[in-house]
Structure formats: structure tokens, C-alpha cells
Structure 1
Amino acid sequence: MQNNKRFTALDLTIGSIFVALMAVGANITSIAPFMVIGGVPITLQTAFAILAGLILGSRLSVISMSVYMLLGLAGAPIFAQFKGGVSTLLSPTFGFIVSFILIAYVAGKLVEKKRSFPIYITASLIAMTINYLFGANWMYAAYLLWFDAPEGFSYKLIWYWLAVPLPKDILLAIGAGIFAHRLEKSFISKSIIRNQQNIKVG
């Protein structure tokens, strides 16, 4: 959140909140099992990762998303469907988890120079697109190289699977951009979170 090299206690607290939000968003299917379609869980992680970038900024959001990934790899059941552990590295969907770090950074970087409404929306949609492209190509490589592919598997089939959550993620990405911009104008820009930054809010 700040341009200096040290994070404050407030920064780290809010960063940890996003780790918790990612865990909750990953396991929304525990209360709505019908949201697993074609073997792909429909989660809220993409929206929360984007929101982390928009609110925390590029540096702290990367740390927050990295902590989420590392906690899951260490065995905490915080990935989708309460999965965790090093074995999840071999999951075809692990690319999406890696991409959360990247999209949080991209979203944060895009809004750090000028926090205008169009940039918030654009940053959110660009981040969501990166999430899908990175995740889809990781999944394709996983099924080709180390995971048992289903009958009739193809690159086009992956995008058929991803077409199911895509409308939801587009709407949530736009919603994240709107929410983050309103939060910035109404609260964050007037708080100590931005007191050492020189950012134009539009």
C-alpha cells in the first residue's frame, strides 16, 4: 500500500485478511456443491485476487497471494474443495493459483499511478483475462504431460469448461473494480494508508 520499503502493521493486517478471503472464496463450493461443473470448481478467488491488487497495491498483494499459495502447499486445506499439500502442484488447476500472484500484481500496478474509474475497470478485466489464459494453458500442459486426460481431450475442450465460470468472473471483475474505486475515493485515499503516496484519484 505504501511506496516505502517497509510495511506497517495495518498493511500486514489487511494483507492477511485477503489470505483469509482467498480461502473462503476457494471453498464456496462446500456450501454450494452444484458450483462444480465439468470438474472445475466455480470459486470467488479470481475476484478476491483482483481486489487484493486494487486495494493493497502491487507489492503487498503479491506477498498476500504468495502467502496464500505457500500455506496451501504446506498442507493447509485452503485451496478449492479444501485441498492442500505439495501434491496440489500436480493438479491441472494449480496454474490458476499461481496466476493469482500475477494478476494481483498486474491489477495493483495498473492503478498505482492514477486511480481513475476507467483504469480500475480496465485493470480488473485485464487481470481476469491473464488469469484465464495462464490457467488454461497450465491445465492443457498438465493433461498432456503428467495428468490423465479425459477421453476426447483437446485445447478447445478446456475453453468449453472455462466458458461456464467466465460470465461470472467477468461480472465479479467489474464489481471488484467498482467496489475498489468507491472504497478508494470514500475511505482509503483519506486514510493513513495513502498518506505517503502521491496518487491522483479520479
Structure 2
Amino acid sequence: MNSKNHWTPIDLTIGSLFVAMMAVGANITSIAPFMVIGGVPITLQTFFAILAGLILGSRLGAFSMFIYMVLGLAGAPIFAQFKGGASILLSPTFGFIVSFILIAYIAGKIVEKRRSAPRYMLAALIGMAINYIFGTNWMYAAYILWFDAPTGFTYQMAWYWMIFPLPKDIVLSIFAAVMAYRLEKSFIAKSAFRNQKNIA
């Protein structure tokens, strides 16, 4: 198929659904406030960002995550704990939000050329790794350079905080890969959405 230079209404509708799912996944902590470790909310955002890349493809997946970020920065209360606004730019956790764009793009790229089960699993786990590496290093830099760091804060402490959500994210990343692959084989591959795109 030929590549497209624009998106159709189907593309934009499904992309919008992922923006909405990111907003829901971000605010699981609203009913479980104890799910915040070291200032890092334990959310379902990584799960949905991976799904966006695997299902929508690299370009549309990344674009939907970009729109999610822009809407939040514009003031919509769609970030974790119903936060929104430009002040989030200075938050230590903003790097995780930026990483969602990278997750969707890279996960999508990995499976676009060959949609096999191992590729889906690899893409999901790489996406999760990007989230942790980019987000944690951003958080460390933020605490060191412009945010008020906790007493005794170190690079090792930043990574120690990430141990707590890690098991959840590994399980959800694997689940995202299995879910996306099964949807691809049972429905998406035959749909108008997939057949209009250059992501065989």
C-alpha cells in the first residue's frame, strides 16, 4: 500500500479514543491515593501508550500521545491526580509524560514491518524500558537542577522509587502485547482502519 500524508476520520476517531483512555489511566490514583511512591503516581498510562503504538502505528500513536500532552499542558485536568496546566513542565514527573510519545512511536515502528507475536512482546518491553529510562533520568535531573529534592536524594534513590511500580508495568506491558496481537489477528488486520494504512 502507498503511505498516506494525512489521516482519515477513522484515524482521528480512534486516536481520540486513546487520548481519552490515557486520561482515565492517569487518574487511577484518584480512587487509590496510596498508589503514589516517591512522588511518582502508579498509573495505567504506560499500558495505554504501548497499546497506542501497537494498534495505531508509530505516527498516529505518537500523535495521539502528543495531543494528550498538549491538552494537559493547556489546562485540561487529564494528567495524574487530575492535574493540568503549563506548571507541569517543571514537575519532576513530566519526563514520563514526554516518554509516552516516544513509547508509542518506537513500539509502533517495531511491529509495523512484521506483526508477529515476538515482535509485539519485544515492542512492549522496549516501550516500558523507554518510559523508565527517560522518565527516571528526567526526574533525577529535575530534583537536582530546579525542584526541591527530598533529603538525601540520590540517583540510586530515584531508581529505588521505580522498583515499586516495575512489577505492575512488566505485567501490563506483556498484557498489552498479547492484547494488541490478538486484536490484530482477530479484527484489526481485516478492518478498514488497518487496510487504509501502510502498516501491514
The code of the aligned residue for 1:172 comes to L
Which stretch of structure 1 is more off in the superposition, 155-164 or 27-36? 27-36
Residues in 1 aligned to 2:39 and 2:190: alpha-carbon distance in whole angstroms: 44
Corresponding residue number in structure 1 for 2:168 = 168
Corresponding residue number in structure 1 for 2:6 = 6
1:125-165 C-alpha deviation (Å, 9 max, x unpaired): 00100110000110011011000110110000011101000
In structure 2, do the counterparts of structure 1 residues 83 and 198 end up closer, same or farther at CA, with 3 Å as the change threshold? closer
Residues in 2 aligned to 1:147 and 1:95: alpha-carbon distance in whole angstroms: 13
Residues in 2 aligned to 1:147 and 1:38: alpha-carbon distance in whole angstroms: 14
The code of the aligned residue for 2:172 comes to L
Unaligned runs of 5+ in 1: none
Task: Assess if the C-alpha contact under 8 Å between 2:4 and 2:198 holds in 1.
Answer: no
1:85-124 C-alpha deviation (Å, 9 max, x unpaired): 0000000000000000001000000000010000000000
TM-score (normalised: structure 1)? 0.95
Which stretch of structure 1 is more off in the superposition, 59-68 or 28-37? 28-37
DSSP 3-state at the match of 1:43: coil
Corresponding residue number in structure 1 for 2:97 = 97
2:81 corresponds to 1:85: no
Task: Assess if the C-alpha contact under 8 Å between 1:22 and 1:45 holds in 2.
Answer: yes
Residues in 2 aligned to 1:171 and 1:196: alpha-carbon distance in whole angstroms: 32
Unaligned runs of 5+ in 2: none
Task: Assess if the C-alpha contact under 8 Å between 1:3 and 1:196 holds in 2.
Answer: no
2:113 corresponds to 1:122: no
In structure 2, do the counterparts of structure 1 residues 193 and 38 end up closer, same or farther at CA, with 3 Å as the change threshold? same
Corresponding residue number in structure 2 for 1:44 = 44
RMSD of aligned residue pairs (Cα, Å): 1.2
2:67 corresponds to 1:73: no
TM-score (normalised: structure 2)? 0.96
Matched pairs, number: 199
Q: Give 1:196 shift.
A: 3.9
In structure 2, do the counterparts of structure 1 residues 53 and 151 end up closer, same or farther at CA, with 3 Å as the change threshold? same
Q: Give 1:39 shift.
A: 2.1
The code of the aligned residue for 1:163 comes to I
DSSP 3-state at the match of 2:34: helix
1:24-71 C-alpha deviation (Å, 9 max, x unpaired): 011000111121123221000001000000000001011100100000
Task: Assess if the C-alpha contact under 8 Å between 2:46 and 2:169 holds in 1.
Answer: yes
- In percent, how many aligned pairs have the same letter? 74
